[in-house]
Structure 1
Amino acid sequence: MEDLISIITPTYNCGKFISETIESVLNQSYQNWEMIILDDCSTDNTKEVVAKYSKVDSRIKYYLFESNSGAARARTKAMELAKGKYNAFLDSDDLWTEDKLERQLYFMKKNNYAFTCTAYEQIDEIGNLLNKKIQTKIKTDYNGVLLSCPIGNSTVMYDVERLGKFTVPNIRKRNDDALWLQILKKEKHIYGMSEVLMRYRVRTNSISSNKIGLIKYHWQLYREIEHLSIIRSTFHICYWVFLKIFKIK
């Protein structure tokens, strides 16, 4: 019997995009999955959009927080509810290629990898390709992720039976990076696939589009969560700003 893959999808006010995201899951060549959608108290029509799918496909499971708690807690709760041997992460505005799960699972089993990611490309808000591909690294350890995280959130899959479940550090942004660092304290490397298997939607009003505003979240990650020294935290902040200013991959 094929292994069950749990798809972890926190969402907040993504009614405009989540239908496409769900369709990209329904179109997967690998079909033994469950999709855990954890709604962080959306105020738009997200619930109604998801209901159209969950009513006809029991693999799509919708849960609603009673109050807004943040993406980190939503992701943690979704992982608690997941029953799969593997967890795969998919944000509610991103898209997968049709063979994403099949190819990534084969890659993991063939090489006996427990923690993997893939390359991806960017699309705009209406789904047009921006002709920008983001490659990952063949393998990256804890220090490599600290220095320059090469991981696209919606490309990650890991083996739950081998590594267990994790609590996502509760920061508003960069909580995905914080989760990868938690996993890398248990698994030495994350291994990257060169194939583009995800499309990342660039949204002008997202938190991550404000690069200056992100600095405080990086500082919080380094100092409060990873407990790095002030000197090392300052180095990582300066290095990140340098990369963004000069747009170095």
Structure 2
Amino acid sequence: MKQDLVSIITPAYKAAATIGQTIASVQAQTHGHWEMLVADDCSPDDTRAVVAEWAARDARVRLIPMAKNGGPAAARNGALAQAQGRWIAFLDSDDLWLPPKLEHSIAHAQANGAALVFTGFRRISFDGTRTGEYIGVPRTLTYRQLLGNTAIATSTVLLDRAQCGEVRMKPVFYDDFACWLEILKRGFVAHGLDEDLMRYRVMPASVSRNKKRSAQEVWKAYRQVEHLGPIASAWHFTGYALRALRKYRQF
């Protein structure tokens, strides 16, 4: 591992319209020692060509062409397999970072000895013309607390591999949620940095906006991934659903 390097993990599928803005937000970071690994999941549009153009102009951007379409978990794993940095950051292909995101996240991780850091953010509309209210985060989350919480947005996460070791995503629907739970289950505590550092783009057909599907997949994560009993699952799901309702009531 390269100690000061941040490896940015970006799965991309049909992202030709947004990936350029996402890459530009990384290039604008005040922490400049990074590599951005964009794993194109066999997009039917021009995603691969767009990323290749950015990579030709900036050697820190690397295109990872997946051999077959496997979904976000497989694409993230394809990028993770080539990551060289001590720090692992996640940024989805339609989201954006504010310039101090990496610098402040690393400083927060170092100040708290944290294996996992997450930050606050705001939603933006697909065309970027509308910005939502600030969504803050708690100071810390344990494994038990995260089971009933929606506070960790994937594109805000920074991991310290010197502490948590190698990271791989499970082939499940909410691979990111399962990954954070797996790390915290080892005894680590997630540290929240309550700063506005990310923009979450709301896509017109986003799966996360399908509440019925989301609820079903969270329940499956409790029962099939975490192997919780029905009573414990119902308890944590209630907390998760209430927090999700408050989170999504306003833009």
- TM-score if structure 2 supplies the norm length? 0.93
The 5 A counterparts of 1:210-229 are: 210-229=210-229
Q: CA deviation at 1:2?
A: 7.1
Which position in structure 2 is the counterpart of 1:7? 8
Check the 8 A contact 1:24/1:97 in 2, yes or no. yes
Which position in structure 1 is the counterpart of 2:193? 193
Q: CA deviation at 1:38?
A: 0.8
Q: CA deviation at 1:32?
A: 0.5
SS at match of 1:132: coil
Which position in structure 2 is the counterpart of 1:183? 183
Letter in 1 for 2:154: N
CA–CA separation in structure 1 for the residues paired with 2:213 and 2:186: 30
The 5 A counterparts of 1:127-166 are: 127-166=128-167
Check the 8 A contact 1:169/1:175 in 2, yes or no. yes
CA–CA separation in structure 2 for the residues paired with 1:243 and 1:191: 18
Check the 8 A contact 2:118/2:152 in 1, yes or no. yes
> Which deviates more, 159-168 or 176-185?
159-168
Letter in 2 for 1:103: H
Which position in structure 2 is the counterpart of 1:65? 66
CA–CA separation in structure 2 for the residues paired with 1:86 and 1:246: 32
CA deviation vs aligned residue, 1:158-185 (integer Å, no higher than 9, x gap): 111221112212112x221111001112
Check the 8 A contact 1:30/1:102 in 2, yes or no. yes
- TM-score if structure 1 supplies the norm length? 0.94
Q: CA deviation at 1:4?
A: 0.5
Which position in structure 2 is the counterpart of 1:86? 87
Letter in 2 for 1:210: N
Check the 8 A contact 1:100/1:198 in 2, yes or no. yes
The 5 A counterparts of 1:38-77 are: 38-77=39-78
CA deviation vs aligned residue, 1:147-204 (integer Å, no higher than 9, x gap): 11311111110111221112212112x2211110011122421001111110111112
Q: CA deviation at 1:67?
A: 1.5
Which position in structure 2 is the counterpart of 1:26? 27
The 5 A counterparts of 1:167-182 are: 167-172=168-173, 174-182=174-182
Unmatched 5+ stretches in structure 1: none
> Which deviates more, 179-188 or 229-238?
229-238
SS at match of 2:57: coil
> Which deviates more, 197-206 or 1-10?
1-10
**TM-aligned CA distance change 1:231 to 1:119, over 3 Å:** same
> Which deviates more, 156-165 or 233-242?
233-242
RMSD of aligned Cα (Å): 1.8
Q: CA deviation at 1:103?
A: 1.4
CA–CA separation in structure 1 for the residues paired with 2:217 and 2:205: 17
Letter in 1 for 2:117: T
